[in-house]
Amino acid sequence: MIQVQLNKPIIEIASSAGWCFGVERIVEMAEKLLAQRAPDEPVYCLGELIHNPQEVARLRAKGMVFVKSHEELPPLEPGQRRKVLIRAHGVAPSVKKILREKGYEIFDGTCPLVTIPHRFAREIVEQGYRLVIMGDREHPEIQGILGEVEGLNARVDVIPGPEAIEALQIKASDRVGLISQTTHPFEKFAQLVGEVLKHALEVKAYNTICQATFDRQDAIRELAQRCDLVIVIGGRNSSNTCRLAEIASQYTVCYHIEDVSELKGAWLQGKRRIGISAGASTPTRCIEEVKTAIEHLSGCL
Amino acid sequence: MIQVQLNKPIIEIASSAGWCFGVERIVEMAEKLLAQRAPDEPVYCLGELIHNPQEVARLRAKGMVFVKSHEELPPLEPGQRRKVLIRAHGVAPSVKKILREKGYEIFDGTCPLVTIPHRFAREIVEQGYRLVIMGDREHPEIQGILGEVEGLNARVDVIPGPEAIEALQIKASDRVGLISQTTHPFEKFAQLVGEVLKHALEVKAYNTICQATFDRQDAIRELAQRCDLVIVIGGRNSSNTCRLAEIASQYTVCYHIEDVSELKGAWLQGKRRIGISAGASTPTRCIEEVKTAIEHLSGCL
């Protein structure tokens, strides 16, 4: 059977997609530091600035040196000044202390919205609740929160979502405080809170999911329901991008790509309405590139 | 088409159904007071002792006098002693004060599990949270809680469930404390907590749904899924019985009856598995009567 595509597909970008306030802010900080540096002066960044390989490559070309941890930072000569940028995800207080002791000048780009769960985590523990964090244990944001409550002698658990609730071994008399990684889906958090409440007498929960995440997730949910294909753009190590792909997949066919080079024409065949969304670390330029490529591949132009 | 019923239906009583600890306790208290009374001495009860008309009639015949409110209690002569029973649902502290001032001897049968939300309601308000109670505003249990926080100068709302959340007008900066009527469905409460968390920064919730309610609701949910008919027995003014019927109706055909006299043979036609459950105020005797009647009507005997 020969399939003839009579209509050009409609291409829609989600009403909320791509760079958020925290990412814009940190990229601006990085650009400023790079613009001001002396010709031979490296500007260090602890971890990848944002979870977007193209953007990281662009900044590396301008003189930014990315190190995986503070241990990779070279010891400074007496009187030598070096700048280190802390990215939007934040770090544990102990890391900042080490940087200071090593003599580095700290530029703290932690997103103000990421510092909110830090404060609540501490409050929860100090008020005598068990702390449950919904998030990825290895994610820098969660590592930062864990560092915040380190040594406070409380039970702290990190779980990916409600499906892992058994690991918490909640007792009826437990008082449980919950927070979420800022980029996790709200529905999973609400479900987790409900599940915990089923077992524990008292539950205290802070909605620490940031508004930008919330808006992006709402937008892709709405978009995915009326598309027969959704393309999500963003780093594969970007937690918030992975969540977007996860949500879209619940409603339609979804592909998660890092940039336009991964797009395949075969995916577009027979599709009538194609949605595009992108994670918080994806520049608008990348979204436009993908849109243009889809138009070309599907014969719109 | 003539339908021939080849098999007798299987009749199953829910694994948790009927009288709970609080009801057993209050009925025992009532029986004891009636047994000890002088021949001409009335024993008063504030409101219907339990939401079961047959049981109320039985106790009335033994000499219990039911009054709708403290205003109906006759003023006492100097030196005259009269007993008044407070039922399992509890009352507001102000009501107890009035009874004492009127000279009545109080027998407090408030279910210990009903006093828990009283304590938490006060705690929530004293800690500066808005209080949201999921329940029926007119239910004596809720009236008792409202009395507990009266004059504490806090915003207090009573809503039937998550569907009424708009009435709360929650702002992002709100700190919201939630409790539930002890007999309401847990799923609705968990959903409400999640909905509130969507709008408010901080949510504190106490699981005040009593274990007996929880068990009965779990049992009828499980039972209803494998039955093609469920009969729920209990007073039409019994909140917990109405909730059981509501849950069963989500899965199968369900009739809510007050006693065996309301059972109709036509309901049973062609049914292969019939479930029975009963509210907290329904004596075991009533459950057995309904089971026997179903057996007769469906030709089991």
**Angle at the Cα of B216 from the Cα atoms of B215 and B219, rounded to 5 degrees:** 85
> Catalytic positions of B, please?
141
Q: Which pLDDT band holds residue B1 (cuts at 50, 70, 90)?
A: very low
Burial of B235 (0-12, 13-18, 19+ CB in 10 A): buried
Per-residue model confidence (pLDDT) at position B3: 47
Per-residue model confidence (pLDDT) at position B211: 85
Is A113's Cβ below 8 Å from some Cβ in B?
no
CA distance A295 to chain B (A): 37
Per-residue model confidence (pLDDT) at position A40: 86
Task: Show the DSSP H helices in A88-238 as ranges.
Answer: 93-101, 112-126, 140-148, 186-199, 211-224
B192-205: per-residue pLDDT in tens? 999 999 999 899 99
Nearest to A193 among B193, B201, B206 (CB): B193
- Please provide residue A223's backbone torsions phi and psi, each rounded to the nearest 5 degrees: -65, -45
pLDDT mean across residues, chain A: 92
Per the CB < 8 Å rule, is B193 touching A198?
A: no
Query: Which is it for the CA torsion A25, A28, A32, A34, positive or negative?
Result: positive
Per the CB < 8 Å rule, is A190 touching B207?
A: no
Q: What is the DSSP letter of B200?
A: -
Rg over CA atoms, chain A: 22
Which residues in chain A are contacts of B186 at CB distance < 8 A? 198
Which residues in chain B are contacts of A190 at CB distance < 8 A? 193-195, 197-198
Bridge-partner residues for A180, per DSSP? A134
Bridge-partner residues for A13, per DSSP? A276
Per the CB < 8 Å rule, is B193 touching A189?
A: no
Which residues in chain B are contacts of A201 at CB distance < 8 A? 206-207
B109-168: per-residue pLDDT in tens? 998 888 899 999 999 999 999 999 999 999 989 999 999 999 888 999 999 999 999 999
**Alpha-carbon span A256 to B290, nearest angstrom:** 59
Which residues in chain B are contacts of A203 at CB distance < 8 A? 193, 204-207
CA distance B197 to chain A (A): 6
Q: Which pLDDT band holds residue A301 (cuts at 50, 70, 90)?
A: low
Is A198's Cβ below 8 Å from some Cβ in B?
yes
CA distance B134 to chain A (A): 15
**Alpha-carbon span B96 to A135, nearest angstrom:** 49
Nearest to B190 among A189, A198, A207 (CB): A198
Which residues in chain A are contacts of B209 at CB distance < 8 A? none
- Please provide residue B217's backbone torsions phi and psi, each rounded to the nearest 5 degrees: -70, -40
**Alpha-carbon span A62 to A50, nearest angstrom:** 15
CA distance B110 to chain A (A): 20
**A9-13, A53-57, A160-164, A216-220: least confidently modelled range:** A53-57
A196-234: per-residue pLDDT in tens? 999 998 999 999 998 888 899 999 999 999 999 999 999
**Alpha-carbon span B8 to B63, nearest angstrom:** 44
Per the CB < 8 Å rule, is B189 touching A204?
A: no
Q: Among this protein's residues, is A141 annotated catalytic?
A: yes
Per the CB < 8 Å rule, is A206 touching B201?
A: yes
- Please provide residue B215's backbone torsions phi and psi, each rounded to the nearest 5 degrees: -65, -45
Which residues in chain A are contacts of B189 at CB distance < 8 A? 197
Nearest to B194 among A193, A200, A204 (CB): A193
Domains and CATH numbers, chain A: 10-19+211-297 (3.40.1010.20), 21-111 (3.40.50.11270), 113-205 (3.40.1010.20)
ipTM for the whole complex: 0.71
A50-106: per-residue pLDDT in tens? 888 888 999 999 999 999 999 999 999 988 889 999 998 899 889 999 999 999 999
Per the CB < 8 Å rule, is A206 touching B205?
A: no
Q: Catalytic residue, from A48, A55, A141, A195: name it.
A: A141
**Considering only residues 159 to 188 of chain A, which have any Cβ-Cβ distance to chain B shorter than 8 Å?**
186
CB A167 within 8 A of CB A190: no
Per the CB < 8 Å rule, is B198 touching A190?
A: yes
Which helix (H) or strand (E) segment is B179 a member of?
Answer: strand B175-180
CA proximity to A120, closest of A151, A144, A140, A95: A144
The gap between the terminal CA atoms of chain A, to the nearest Å, is: 26
B276-290: per-residue pLDDT in tens? 999 998 988 899 999
- Please provide residue A77's backbone torsions phi and psi, each rounded to the nearest 5 degrees: -70, 155
Q: Which pLDDT band holds residue A4 (cuts at 50, 70, 90)?
A: very low
Rg over CA atoms, chain B: 22
Residue to test with chain A: of B120, B174, B204, most A Cβ within 10 A: B204
Per the CB < 8 Å rule, is A206 touching B207?
A: no
Nearest-Cα residue of chain B relative to residue A172? B207
In 3-state terms chain A splits into helix, strand, coil percentages (rounded to 5) of 45, 20, 40
A231-254: per-residue pLDDT in tens? 999 989 888 899 999 999 999 999
CA distance A146 to chain B (A): 20
Q: What is the identity of the amino acid at B239?
A: S
The DSSP annotation for A115-141 comes to HHHHHHHHHHHHTT-EEEEES-TTSHH
The DSSP annotation for A7-51 comes to SPPEEEE-SS-S--HHHHHHHHHHHHHHHHS-TT--EEEES-SSS
Per-residue model confidence (pLDDT) at position B26: 92
Kindly report the number of other CB atoms within 10 A of residue B259's CB atom.
18
For the CA atoms of A51, A121, B197, B222, the dihedral, rounded to the nearest 10 degrees, stands at: 100
B210 pLDDT more than 70? yes
Nearest-Cα residue of chain B relative to residue A185? B198
Which residues in chain B are contacts of A193 at CB distance < 8 A? 190, 193-194, 197, 203, 205
Distance of CA B201 to the CA centre of its chain: 32
Is B207's Cβ below 8 Å from some Cβ in A?
yes
Kindly report the number of other CB atoms within 10 A of residue B56's CB atom.
18
Q: What is the identity of the amino acid at A272?
A: R
CA distance B149 to chain A (A): 19
Nearest-Cα residue of chain A relative to residue B194? A190
